[in-house]
Structures are given as C-alpha cells and as structure tokens.
Structure 1
Amino acid sequence: MNANKLILAGLPMIAVTYGLSRFSYGLMLPYINEAINMTQSTSGIISSMSYVAYCIAIVAAMMFSGRVTSRLMLMAAGLLSIIGLGVISVSLTPIGLGAGIFLAGMSTGLSSPPYASIVNATVEAREQNQANAWINSGTSIGTAFTGAIVIMMVDSWRETYVIFMVIAMVVLAANYKVLPHKSTIEKKRSAGFVKQEWKQSLQLILASLLLGISSAAYWTFSRDFIVNLEGVPAYLGDWLWIIIGLSGLLGGTAGIFINWFGIGSAFRLSVVTLSTASLLLGSSPGSPVVGFLSPFLFGSSYVFITGVLIVWGVSVFRTNPSIGLGLPFLMLALGQAAGSIFSGIVAGSFGYHTLFLAASVIGYATIIFKYQSQ
C-alpha cells in the first residue's frame, strides 16, 4: 500500500480517537464543570477512566492481532469513538460523563496497533519509521482542531462533542474505503524469540510508565490551571490546546530524526523537552512567554516521544509490530491512568504549582533508561 495514502487515512483516525475522543476532556473541563459540578479528585478519576479504557482496548488489540484483521479492529475503534462522543454530549452526571469518556477511550486503544501492523505489512521498510511517526502525529492535529473549535464555540461543550461525533463518522467512512481488506494478521512466533524480545523491552516498559505519570498532569489540569490564574490573559487559556496541537506537528519528524541520530538521542531530547514544559508551567505560569513556550514544548515533545516509543517498540518486537506499538502505549496509558488520579489528589492537597513541579521531576528521571539495540 502506498505510504502517503495510508497516512492520509490513518492520521485523521488518530486525530479523532486521540485528539477529539481522549485529550479533549482536559480542554473542556472548565466548561463541563459549569454544568456538572465536580471536585478536582472527581475530575481526575473521570480522566483516568479514559486511560483505563485505553489499557483494556490496547491489550485486546494485541491479543486479537493474530485472529482479527487490522481493518476490522479500526472499524470497531471508529464506532466506539462515535458512541463515546455521543454519550459525552448528553451527559448530565459524573457517572454518565465517565461512561462516555470510557467508551471514547477504548477507541484510542484499538486504533494505534492496527496501523503499525498495516505499515509493517504493506509499506516499504525505508518508509516505515516515517509512516508510523506521521500517523501518530494525528494526535496533534486533533488537539489543535479541538482548541480551535472550542474558541469558536465558546462554552458550548455539548454542541462541540456533537460536531466531533459527526467528524468521527466521516473519518470512519473514509477508512472503510481506503484500508486493505486482507492481510495484517500477525503470525505466531517461536517462544524463544518472543522471550528474548520481552527481556529487551524492560527499559522501554519502565520509561513509558513514568512518562505516562509525568504527562498526565499536563493533559488533565494545565488549562484549568491557566484559566483560573489571576492576572493571566484569557487568550493564553484559549490558545493553549491550539499551541499544543500545532507544535505537535513537529513530532511527525521523529522518524527522520531517528534515522539521522538514532533512537537513544531522540529519546533523551524528547524527555528533557517534555519535562521542561511542566517545570516552566509550575515555576512561572503567569508569564506570557511561558504561557506560549510551555505548551509549545509539551506539544512538540509529546508527539515526538510517542513516535520514538513506537519505533523503539517495533525495533524490539521485530516479529510482532502490534505488540511493539501496543506495549509502550499500554504502559504510557497505565502511567497516565495512575497519574490522573495522583494529579487530582496532589492538586487538591498542595496546589497546581507543586503538581507540575513534581511532574517535571518524574519526567526528568526517565532519562536514565536507554535503548538497547538487538
């Protein structure tokens, strides 16, 4: 399959499942709280539902990669996104909201591994790193689009989620037409080889887990923090998600950077940049410069580092790209699920300044992990 054609189908699907279905919650939170009054702890728990659902779905995606075609899995992801967004739009209680967030979160877990399998099976080897990175950058497109829609719709969050649902329908229809009907079912591998791959994945697992914990604070509470600061221009809160999303397009260059400098250098650069974004937000949140620089660093480095984790995982699990992508994303989501709850507790007890400083320390700590080539 032509790499560009696959990117044109995969990038919008990732934009819908990640940007619109999953990460939009943090942006909508101030408006949702006006209609469904929630404590910070409750907001954190609901956010964690998305990550828990993601974990369940991505495990299912890895388990069924040998039985179900990638195309069928992606159709299921699109349907769950549509249903989840619809439920969110009509939610009147935290329970209903949590249910919608959960369903939308499942769509995210089912969407990423299948694309890695399709890329591995249909795209030329020299183009695979870049194809995976650009499809993954759909997260940034979805995030930027979410931010732009919210500015135009002001606080009409229910109508915004209806718009997201319609977009998800269109993207699902496009993928239904474009994706290959055959192949991309993983084959069984020898137990010895698989055992060696799992052994080499230990540092990848730990790095992904800690990065999930670190990034959860930013995704869930960064905008709520900024919009409630006294003396901070309103436009900083309005443009936060757009800055994160647009800067995330730089993350699409992860494949090129890795091809030039290697996975290890790419990982270290992205860890430092991601952690510095939280450090700046926690130390000088009222500065207009920080108000632009922090989300720029976070958006570009988050998409970049997820691209690095994809390439790292696929390079370790050479015989099973679904696990290669699914495993680090699973650990990232587990970290984000725990991190969302932890963030809500820390923010409620010690304030947002302490939360983002703690998140930066956890992020910097992951630099000790190193890529091990086969």
Structure 2
Amino acid sequence: MVSGAAVIAVTYGLARYGYGLYLPQFRAAFGLSPGAAGAIAAGGYVGYCGAAVVASRLVGGGRARRALWAAGGSAALGSILVAAAWDGASLATGALIAGSGAGAATPALVAAVAHTIPLPDQPRAQGLVNGGTGAGVVGGGLLVLSVPEAWRWSWAGFAVVSLLVTACADRRTRWRSVPEGPAGRGGTDPDERALAPRLGRPLVAALLAGAGCAGVWTFARDLMTADGGLPPAVTGLLWCLLGAAGLLGGLSGVLVRRVGLRVAWRTTVLAAAAGTVLLGALPGAVVPAAIALACFGSAFVALSGVLLAWGAQRVPAAAAGATAVLFIGLTVGQAVGAVALGVLSEAAGTLTAFLAAGTLLVVSAAAAERRQGR
C-alpha cells in the first residue's frame, strides 16, 4: 500500500498535476496565453487516456508488471523533457508524456493490490493507494516554496523519483503472470468497449466531473498569482494544503461503506463544486482560498475513489477494466474542460470560467445512482 501510494504520488501529484503547479513559471518562460496553457494541459490528459487503454490491455493479458513500468517510465521521460523544454511545443510534448504515466499507473496498481492484498482488505487498500495523489501535491508545493525558480531541476528530480518508487512497488508486489480474464480476481475485460455500456451512468458522471475539476487543477495557482495578486510563497503553501487535504480523500472506501455510492458521489462532487466557485470568487483572499482548496483537494481524491468503487460494483468481475474506463472518462472530461475553460477565461474572465466549472460539477451530482448501492 505504501509503495503503491508512492507511485500514485509521483505519477499523479507531480508528473501530471505538477503542470498546473508550475504554470506561472511556464507562462513566464514561454509566454503562454490562458488558451495555450489549457491546450497543453489537455495534451497531458489525452496522453493519460491512451496510456490507460494500453495499460488495461496489458493487465488483462497478465502483464500488469509491464503496465507499472510503463507508468513509471512515461512519468520519468516526460519529466525530463519538461526539464529540458526550450519552447511551448517541447513543453507540450513533455507534459503529454508525463501525464500519460498516471494513466498507466491506476490499472497497474489496481491489479497489484488484487495480487498482493487479501480480498476483504482490498477496498480500503485501493482507497489509500489512490490517496497518494495528495502526498505528491504536497511534495510539489514544498518544492516550489524551497526553490521557486529552479523548475527545471525540480522536473529532473521528478524523473529520478519516478523510477525509484516504481522499482520499490515492483519489489513489493506478488505478481501473477496468468491472464486476468473477466472472471479473474481484480481482472479486466480485454475489450473496454464491452464494458462501457455497463458503465453508462458512472461514465457520464465521470466526464462531467472531470470537466469541472479541470478549472482548479489547471488554473488555480495561476489564478491566485495573476488575478488574486498573492505572492508565490503563499500560493505554494496553499497548494500544499490542497495536497494535504487530498490525503483525507483516501478514506473514500470508508465513506462508500458508511453512506453508499449515491450519497458518497453527490457529497464529493458538490464539495468540489463549492471549493471551485469559492476560489474563483475570492482568489486573492488567503483564508477563503485556503478553505476552497482544502475542500476541493479532499473532494477530488474522494470522488476518484468513489469511481473506483462504482466501477467495481457495476462490473465486479472486471474491476481493473472498469477503473480504466471510468478514469479515462474522468480524464477526457478534464481535457475538454481545460481547453474550454481556458478559452472561456480569455473571453469572459476567470470568475466566469470557475463558475462554469462549478456548474458542471453540480450537474454531475445528478448522474448518481438511483439506488443506494454500498
């Protein structure tokens, strides 16, 4: 669980969401407009989707270990390219490859937990591993506070850490080489298209939630710096708070058991909506911004954990495949949301863009299950 959470921390919290953390530096170095910044973020999300499809097929063929190394290797390669970027195009290439590492990490670690953790403990373990995102975001925020201008060296460090934690997770997992067919424990359906019809409602919910969450993950720090006028040290601390709150989201498995899927989904996405709107309305006020980011951070990690449970409930014999489909849906939503919100921000202002993001999250709450599944 610890090594798996470390892989999630690096691939998600640093290599993927680190782009939003360092967006003020990237905009200063390469002269990016909000629209261009959103398009680059969308490229990373597209890479995530492609990697998730490939990784879920590797897992389905009994090659989950290769999927894990695809995750760590992609995060490392993309981070090196970001560290060496010389213009906007090279930055976009690096962000795309770095973001794809997270796409491979989730299916690989779903399988790793299924191979290694006893069945009764797997839901809690999946939630705690998924909560590693918050630890990575905290680490990135502390790094910005320590060396705010050394972003190239920071991304080079992300690459080294990616390889180290991947090796550690590999050593700690009891890999099985047999194919993970639809009946296998933690297995995945070899054809994601066959799973999609059985995941209609959660897939729609994931798309809408992803589009709404793109506002904070892509533009939050830049918003607080440029529009709110907060100094970099303060925004770095607030980013750490976002990540620390995300650690609480690792308890999503407990939340689902206590209140059921429907209430858990609605609670988490509405909390994310509240945080998004509050930050958009008061980006220059430290206390409201802190409350907004804490609310959003815990809610985002929790809602992604609820999606894990939701997919497993809908297709219990293909949990890894269902996870891949739903997380691809979440990420497609983030890609579309990053582009659309960037364009909307240029045309109508950031407050309007963040209000639109909050509205999408509220709409996604309506897609919750009609019955109270636990």
Where on the TM-score scale, by shorter chain, does this alignment land: which range? over 0.9
Residue 169 (str. 1) matches residue 150 (str. 2): no
Residue equivalent to 2:36: 42
Residue equivalent to 1:180: 174
Q: 1:65 to 1:229 in 2, by over 3 A?
A: same
Cα separation, 2, equivalents of 1:296 and 1:323: 31
Residue equivalent to 1:135: 129
Q: Deviation per CA, 1:263-293: give whole Å up to 9, x if none.
A: 1111111011000011101222232221110
Cα separation, 2, equivalents of 1:90 and 1:233: 26
Q: Deviation per CA, 1:311-344: give whole Å up to 9, x if none.
A: 1111111111111211110000000011111011
TM-score, length-scaled by structure 1: 0.93
Question: Is the partner of 2:317 in helix, strand or coil?
Answer: coil
Q: 1:235 Cα deviation (Å)?
A: 4.2
**Correspondences of 1:337-356 after superposition (within 5 Å):** 337-356=335-354
Residue equivalent to 2:357: 359
Aligned equivalent of 2:111, options 105, 117, 138: 117
Aligned equivalent of 1:8, options 2, 10, 35: 2
Contact 1:44–1:220 (CA under 8 A) maintained in structure 2: yes
Q: Deviation per CA, 1:84-126: give whole Å up to 9, x if none.
A: 1111100001111111111111111111012212323442232
Cα separation, 2, equivalents of 1:159 and 1:128: 37
Percent of matched pairs sharing the same residue: 30
Q: Deviation per CA, 1:139-179: give whole Å up to 9, x if none.
A: 11101100000110122110111121121121122123222
Letter of the 1:163 counterpart: G
Cα separation, 2, equivalents of 1:324 and 1:184: 19
Cα separation, 2, equivalents of 1:25 and 1:326: 22
Q: Which deviates the most, 292-301 or 196-205?
A: 196-205
| Matched residue count | 366
Q: Which deviates the most, 32-41 or 83-92?
A: 32-41
Contact 1:197–1:316 (CA under 8 A) maintained in structure 2: no
TM-score, length-scaled by structure 2: 0.93
Q: Deviation per CA, 1:8-35: give whole Å up to 9, x if none.
A: 1200001111011100001101112222
Residue equivalent to 1:299: 297
Gaps in structure 2 of 5+ consecutive residues: none
Q: 1:303 Cα deviation (Å)?
A: 0.4
Gaps in structure 1 of 5+ consecutive residues: 1-6
**Correspondences of 1:74-89 after superposition (within 5 Å):** 74-89=68-83
Contact 2:275–2:295 (CA under 8 A) maintained in structure 1: yes
Residue equivalent to 1:308: 306
Q: Deviation per CA, 1:333-367: give whole Å up to 9, x if none.
A: 00001111101101111111111111111111111
Cα separation, 2, equivalents of 1:86 and 1:316: 39
Q: 1:36 to 1:68 in 2, by over 3 A?
A: farther
Task: State the superposition RMSD in angstroms.
Answer: 2.0
Residue equivalent to 1:222: 220
